[in-house]
Amino acid sequence: MLLLLALSFLVAIIALFYIANSQNHHEDDHSRLLMAKAIENRQEINNSHITDNADWGEAWKNLHLTTNTRWAWDNQNLGESLYQTFHYEGIFVVSPDGQTRYSVLKGQLHLELIGTWLGKDPVPYLKQQLAESDGKAVSSLVVSEGQVTILSAAWITPGGDSSVVTDDGPRSLMIFADRLTPDKLSKMALEYGIQDAHVLRPQSSTVAGSSNQLELPALDGPVIFTWQSDNPGEALVICILPALVLLMFATLLTAFMLMKNVLRRARMSDESHFLLAQSQQALYSSECRFRDVAETTTDWIWEADENLRFTWISERFPAITGYHISDWIGRPVTEFLLNDSDVSSQLAYLCQSGGRITLPNSRYLSAQQHPRFCNMIVKRVFLPGGKTGFRGTATDVTQEVEALERVRYLSHFDEVTGLPNRVQMKEFLEGKLNSESTGEHQLAIIMIDLDKFKPVNDTYGHSVGDAVLHEVSTRLRACLKDSGLATRHGGDEFIIILPDVKNQEDIEALCREVIREINQPFLIEGCEIYVGASLGIALSPQDARTASDLLRYSDIALYKAKNEGRNQWAFFQRDMDEKIVQRREMEQELREGIRTGQLRMVYQPRYDTRCACITAVEALVRWQHPQHGLLMPDQFIPLAEETGLINALSDWVLYTACSETQRYLPGLAVSVNLSAGEFQDNGLYNRIKDVLEKTGLKSSRLEIEVTENVTLQDPVKTQKTMLQLKALGVKFLIDDFGTGFASLSYLRTFPFDGIKLDKSFIFPIDDSVSARQIVENMIGLGKAYALNVTAEGVETQIQLEQLTLLQCDSLQGYFIGMPVPIESLRDLNTCRI
């Protein structure tokens, strides 16, 4: 036995040396791979820089067609900045006949042949490499003045400049020289964790097969890089070998002593008793552990007899329900749950057949007689003595149910005014239009727009503006009584639907009363506020028979009422079709604007509360109209969707946002808004994939923002398209969450990564406890579905602090940052709020 132990330790020592040697070789192989990667990355960066400068119409004009020193040096298009910023020691422009026509050496304008500066002429070799690479930029190593130099070369081409006239003749060559000085090489290697990297001199003796050396091809022969090996195996041997030797002697001595101590067998019985006692202690500890878990978990656990009467309830029961445990011991489970025929039938079936059931969202009353909800799990079990009984758990889900009910309410009612929103309005209007009509009465739709309302928000703030809107809704209800439906269409627009109008005089009387009531002063927070109202009216069936046409015609009539002096009403007339003509003109102008580059892109930052920095931007499009000035998206996006221009507009936005983000905002994600209708386009996947390939932006940095309505138009096709893009790496966010009317089940069905709470939920949280509770519930709902939650419309420090306390993941709004051009956001990745 001692011999076997000694042999085992000897094998262990040999294995230790073998492992140490393997670790040394592995570490050197890893360092060699990192060193090669460092050189390769350096060459790729140089190739990217020279491509940016050579593939340029201005470079073609000023360096190939002619040598314009003023353009290149004086204007710093190819001058000192490349040395100061990127440390290029040499910049050369070689004419097609091989002559150096322009050169910058160490940031100074100095005409010198590249062959003279390097001591050898690399031009033929570089031209050969360019010919083999189909004109793409190439790099090569060359030894010059005892140091390795990276030469990057590219043909000077006009790039995408259509104004440049080209020919098929030979082209000039642009060369960047990056000399790897000892300091530069050492810093480059340290970035990859490599110490003391340097180049072996040609006269230095090299060890064949040395593991801490990297040989790379160069213009005039191989170049050998070497570095200081970490030698982890030596540290392993120093640490473990002494301990292993001591352990070997101690083990041998112990084995020898154990073999002599045969009396140890007499203690085996005592050890058995000890192990039994340990097992009993472990069982007791397990029981205590279960009891502690049962009393500290968020669920309460219960046990019942065969008649479903409570026999035991955990200590969490009083904290959640408010009852004492003794109040319910001996009472049936069916008495605790509110009378529900479906729950009773399920429990009765369980008593007969056994098994397990789940009772979701079961209602019960707390000790304070407040209705609450729980998810209850009931399982039939066998108790000691051969009896049967039941065990289960109950999870309180009251907040989740209330949040879901609140979201359902907000999907059909306006949060500020309590009026039906445009979804319910459209359902009501279409229902009335589709119902049979006697032909004696008419249906009227009145679109109301508040005059002079914007200054109220600007002067008094959004909270006062919301109070005005709420008071307007109250006055509209009072004017209507029970004769129709008043809804909020959005912003400061309201719609009244009169389903049974006998004559035009009744409509005018109502309009007169509405204007009179709205013109009365609004007493808000001690201030008298005055607004007006303009009304546009369309009638069915004489004007139109569809909801969309009636809304459009009433909007046209409203436009006329506003143009004629406001505080009045106008009925739609056929001669108002001029509005439609203007819309067609706007369509043509938008088509021309997309083609001629009138669109502008701005970016609004998104603040991550977890890392306290800007991690993403939202791309927003603007239209610089030649006559109307800068137009916001809501002024032309609906037109683009209706006319089929949305695809061309989205392609421009996607390409511009991805390319500018890739160029100016490294590391930041960019979100782009897409119309719900675009997901019915079979080519959407290929369009986005082509943009990512052309711009070089990683797919994980692109986020697509869609509204909840995207789930309503052919959900199967939409889901298929989203899954394809999801496999590509693109992320999806729900914009304006809580304002649509899609089913919440789509949060689980569709591959969404996050939700963006609409700003209408954020504005009132400064001074409204209920509004803050709503936002908290919506954040909790998003986290329950493992979604990233972003709050839009953050405009104050208080809102930022409250949303941070509510653990909202990201914030966006004017307080975080206004939408600005990309040039103003170049340093956002280092910003802190």
pLDDT, one tens digit per residue, over 531-549 is: 999 999 999 888 888 888 8
pLDDT band at 294 (very low <50, low <70, confident <90, very high): low
In the DSSP assignment, the letter for residue 69 is H
**CA-based nearest residue to 357, from 379, 328, 337, 326:** 379
Domains of the chain with CATH codes: 2-228 (no CATH), 294-396 (3.30.450.20), 409-572 (3.30.70.270), 590-830 (3.20.20.450)
In order, the DSSP letters of 219-256 are TTS-EEEEEE---HHHHHHHHHHHHHHHHHHHHHHHHH
**CA-based nearest residue to 446, from 508, 380, 357, 369:** 508
Q: Is residue 357's pLDDT more than 80? A: yes
pLDDT of residue 830: 44
**CA-based nearest residue to 197, from 6, 343, 35:** 35
Q: Which residues pair with 198 in a beta bridge?
A: 226
How far CA 722 is from CA of 265, 421, 703, 743, in Å, comes to 71, 29, 12, 17
Residue type, 165: V
**CA-based nearest residue to 379, from 388, 368, 367, 387:** 388
Is the pTM value of this prediction over 0.75? no
pLDDT of residue 255: 78
- Mean pLDDT for 560-572 is 83
How far CA 827 is from CA of 81, 655, 665, 794, in Å, comes to 20, 22, 8, 21
pLDDT of residue 481: 81
698 vs 294, residue with greater confidence? 698
How far is residue 264 CA from its own chain's centroid? 68
Cα(503)–Cα(442) distance, integer angstroms: 8
Contacts of 623 (CB under 8 A, 6+ apart): 590, 593, 598, 599, 600, 630, 631, 635, 636
pLDDT of residue 831: 45
Q: Is residue 669's pLDDT more than 60? A: yes
Do residues 690 and 658 make contact, with C-beta atoms less than 8 angstroms apart? Answer: no
Q: Which residues pair with 134 in a beta bridge?
A: none
Tell me: cis bond preceding 541? Omega within 30 of 0 counts: yes
pLDDT of residue 660: 93
Query: pLDDT tens digits for 733-759?
Result: 998 887 765 566 777 788 999 999 988
Q: Which two tokens stand for residue 243?
A: 């301990």
385 vs 471, residue with greater confidence? 471
